[in-house]
Structure 1
Amino acid sequence: MEAVSPTPEQLQKVLADTPKDQPIVMLNLLRFREQANYKDESTDRTGREAYSLYLKEAADCVKAVGAEVIWSGHSVGSLIAPPDESWDQVLLVRYPSIDAFMAMIETPEYKGVVKHRTAAIRDSRLVANLEDHS
């Protein structure tokens, strides 16, 4: 099943289940559209180009809440996955807390740039992760 944005129910569940005082790393698995699909404008951008624009414009929003991209790269293939599952890009973003992530996605600045992500993405996964402390 293709998914582009979290549902309110998914956000609430992760928010409720995640300790508020620990850093969280968001794993982004991304599959791009061939052509970006904007609701309110026509463009010649590819999905990858629209996502690059999203990353550039969202960078200040990420920094403003104390978060950072800790790794970004392209996928070369899955060793363990359903045969039809593939990803174009993988991104890891560390936030100081789940509250910092939620604060970021609620800002007017972020809401103004997320249209590029929505236009770019055909399918995605966003997985919240806590570091194990052994």
Structure 2
Amino acid sequence: MSEVYIDPSPTNFQAFKDLPRDEPIHMLNLLLYRHLAKYPEGHEHHGNGWSGRRAYEEYGKTSGPIFRRVGGEIVWRGAFQTMVTGLDTRKWHDGFVAHYPNSGAFFEMIKDADYQKAVVNRTAALVDSRLIRFKPLMVGAAFG
């Protein structure tokens, strides 16, 4: 099995922080849910039998107001069908692209006390994920 990731490494997060902070960003999210969510003992949702997908829905419900407050919006969402190029051993459940007006908005969100409570749901939900920052470019019919 390939390596799994839930949170950024210190090196990757520093690379993110070193990029320009005053321009719009798109964050590609690839999600692989746990069969059963894995909450820490003592958490209000521990032992409730939620699926990983259900726990991620809770993450969306509890973090959504903060995401919207900082100017975030989902600009694309999709359900995985098949890997065309790449390792076929990784089959994602869902993917989406989140737009932020700038990386400062992303930092504001993740530092918010209510977001830090909500992110427990994300951690409980996922067995693996990818979060990839992109600089938005022009879109249209051509590749170049």
1:59 aligns with 2:59: no
Write the letter of the residue equivalent to 1:47: G
1:124 corresponds to 2:129: yes
Residue 9 of structure 1 and its aligned partner are, at CA, apart by 2.6
- Number of residues of Structure 1 aligned to a counterpart in Structure 2: 133
Per the alignment, residue 23 of structure 1 pairs with 24
Q: Aligned residue for 2:38?
A: 37
- Residues in 1 aligned to 2:63 and 2:76: alpha-carbon distance in whole angstroms: 16
For structure 1, which runs of at least 5 residues remain unmatched after alignment? none
Q: Residue deviations 1:20-78, cap 9 Å, x none?
A: 22100000000000000001222210000000111111110101111111122211111
Over aligned residue pairs, what C-alpha RMSD do you find?
1.3
2: CA distance, partners of 1:68 / 1:57: 15
Q: Counterparts of 1:53 and 1:22 in 2: how far apart (Å)?
A: 30
Question: Could you tell me which residue of structure 1 aligns to residue 7 of structure 2?
Answer: 5
Q: In 2, distance between residues paired with 1:107 and 1:3?
A: 22
108, 119, 133: which one pairs with 1:114? 119
**Identical counterparts, % of pairs:** 32
**Alpha-carbon distance in 2 for matches of 1:111, 1:52:** 16
Partner-residue secondary structure (3-state), 1:12: helix
Equivalent residue, structure 2, for 1:83: 88
Taking the aligned partners of 1:76 and 1:83, their CA distance within structure 2 comes to: 11
Identify which range, 26-35 or 64-73, moves more after superposition. 64-73
Runs of 4+ in 1 over 2 A off after TM superposition: none
Aligned match for 1:68, one of 65, 73, 77: 73
* Shift in CA distance, 60/98, structure 1 to aligned 2, threshold 3 Å: same
Task: Structure 2 unaligned segments of length 5 or more: list them.
Answer: 139-143
**SS of equivalent to 2:54:** helix
Please identify the structure whose Cα radius of gyration is greater: 2
Query: Mean Cα displacement is larger for which, 115-124 or 33-42?
Result: 33-42
